């Protein structure tokens, strides 16, 4: 009897341990790969850290209102990363953006500060859209005083699943870069810079890039080849003003995000890249 009871207790303990392990495994995971080391974090693990703080974001990009989060300073998460490095943030919905480590590691109290907001399992954030129950969690890059670092809305990735140290976009995808002879301070190269901050986070160009949300913007056709400059400006400023459909995910870029000069520079870059297409794969083969 005693021996049987002991076996039952051991079995119950084993089941409890398995249940706990499964519960931890069921949590969403953030994978980081920096300094040659890969680490996986569950939200509960990060929230238990002593350096987690509460931050209030008066004009949150994802929610378009004031939000408060429990968050980890990015300088703490990225300890040991060189300021010259580039970090790629990949989201579970196909969004991907590359950010300079120097911006993420900044600690000047008068400048922009980066934080990884972490969604608690027992206090989930609101859904982002009425027709989509998912929130911005479980991991969301937020900024205090973003205007002081010229941080644009596309540099607020949410639903982050992976952060990894990589070579800059221009080094990894040379087919998106203007030729060496193009003036460095001219509209084409200025447009390339704006494009990498705001457009390649959702699109590819010349079949190159990290994102998988929007269509390629050069092959088989560049938008400057089938839209007038005025129509393309309208699409970028307010996509629904030219073609309206409920499932549209492209945000509008108003003058507060993209100045008229920056918009003209993007169009100059796109027109230039229309003559530098890579071969279109033969999908029939």
The pLDDT tens digits of the residues spanning 224-242 come to 999 999 999 999 998 877 7
Instruction: Say if CB 207 and CB 200 are below 8 A apart.
Output: no
Per the structure, how many domains does the chain have? 2
Q: What CATH number corresponds to the domain at position 176?
A: 2.60.40.420
Residue 241 has what pLDDT? 76
Residue 231: give the domain boundaries.
172-273
> Within a domain: residue 184?
yes
The pLDDT tens digits of the residues spanning 99-120 come to 999 999 999 988 999 999 999 9
Are residues 70 and 35 part of one domain? yes
> Within a domain: residue 279?
no
Residue 133 has what pLDDT? 80
Q: Name 236's Cβ contacts closer than 8 Å, sequence gap at least 6.
A: 252, 253, 258, 263, 266
Are residues 177 and 150 part of one domain? no
Are residues 36 and 161 part of one domain? yes
Asked if residue 173 has pLDDT above 70, the reply is yes
pLDDT band at 248 (very low <50, low <70, confident <90, very high): low
> Within a domain: residue 262?
yes
Residue 132 has what pLDDT? 73
Domain boundary among the residues 114, 136, 166 is at 166
User: How many whole angstroms separate alpha carbon 166 and alpha carbon 178?
Assistant: 21
Q: What CATH number corresponds to the domain at position 36?
A: 3.90.420.10
User: How many whole angstroms separate alpha carbon 192 and alpha carbon 67?
Assistant: 33
> Within a domain: residue 185?
yes
Are residues 149 and 33 part of one domain? yes
> Within a domain: residue 97?
yes
Asked if residue 19 has pLDDT above 80, the reply is no
Instruction: Say if CB 206 and CB 178 are below 8 A apart.
Output: no
Share of the chain above pLDDT 90, in %: 70
Domain boundary among the residues 150, 166, 182 is at 166
The pLDDT tens digits of the residues spanning 57-103 come to 999 999 999 999 999 999 999 988 999 999 999 999 889 999 999 99
Are residues 143 and 212 part of one domain? no
The pLDDT tens digits of the residues spanning 196-218 come to 999 998 899 999 998 888 899 99
Are residues 55 and 133 part of one domain? yes
Instruction: Say if CB 178 and CB 188 are below 8 A apart.
Output: yes
Considering the entire predicted model, what is its pTM? 0.81
User: How many whole angstroms separate alpha carbon 12 and alpha carbon 18?
Assistant: 10
> Within a domain: residue 278?
no
User: How many whole angstroms separate alpha carbon 68 and alpha carbon 60?
Assistant: 9
Are residues 183 and 248 part of one domain? yes
Domain boundary among the residues 124, 149, 166 is at 166
> Within a domain: residue 33?
yes
> Within a domain: residue 74?
yes
Pull the structure tokens for residue 158.
């949410």
Are residues 210 and 150 part of one domain? no
Are residues 211 and 140 part of one domain? no
């Amino acid at each position: 009897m005693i021996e049987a009871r002991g076996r039952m207790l051991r079995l119950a303990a084993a089941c409890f341990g398995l249940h706990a392990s499964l519960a931890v495994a069921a949590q969403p995971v953030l994978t980081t790969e920096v300094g040659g080391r890969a680490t996986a974090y569950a939200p509960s693990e990060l929230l238990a850290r002593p350096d987690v703080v509460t931050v209030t974001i008066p004009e949150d990009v994802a929610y378009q209102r004031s939000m408060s989060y429990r968050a980890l300073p990015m300088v703490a998460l990225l300890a040991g990363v060189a300021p010259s490095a580039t970090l790629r943030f990949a989201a579970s919905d196909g969004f991907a953006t590359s950010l300079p480590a120097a911006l993420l590691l900044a600690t000047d109290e008068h400048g922009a500060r980066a934080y990884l907001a972490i969604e608690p399992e027992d206090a989930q954030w609101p859904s982002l859209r009425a027709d989509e129950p998912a929130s911005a969690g479980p991991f969301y890059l937020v900024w205090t005083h973003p205007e002081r670092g010229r941080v644009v809305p596309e540099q607020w990735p949410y639903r982050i699943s992976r952060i990894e140290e990589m070579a800059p976009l221009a080094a990894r995808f040379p087919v998106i870069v203007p030729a060496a002879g193009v003036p460095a301070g001219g509209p084409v190269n200025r447009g390339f810079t704006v494009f990498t901050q705001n457009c390649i986070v959702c699109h590819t160009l010349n079949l190159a890039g990290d994102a998988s949300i929007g269509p390629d913007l050069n092959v088989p056709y560049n938008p400057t080849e089938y839209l007038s400059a005025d129509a393309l400006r309208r699409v970028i400023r307010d996509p629904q003003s030219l073609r309206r459909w409920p499932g549209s995910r492209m945000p509008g870029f108003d003058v507060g995000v993209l100045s008229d000069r920056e918009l003209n520079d993007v169009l100059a870059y796109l027109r230039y890249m229309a003559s530098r297409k890579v071969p279109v794969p033969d999908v029939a083969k």
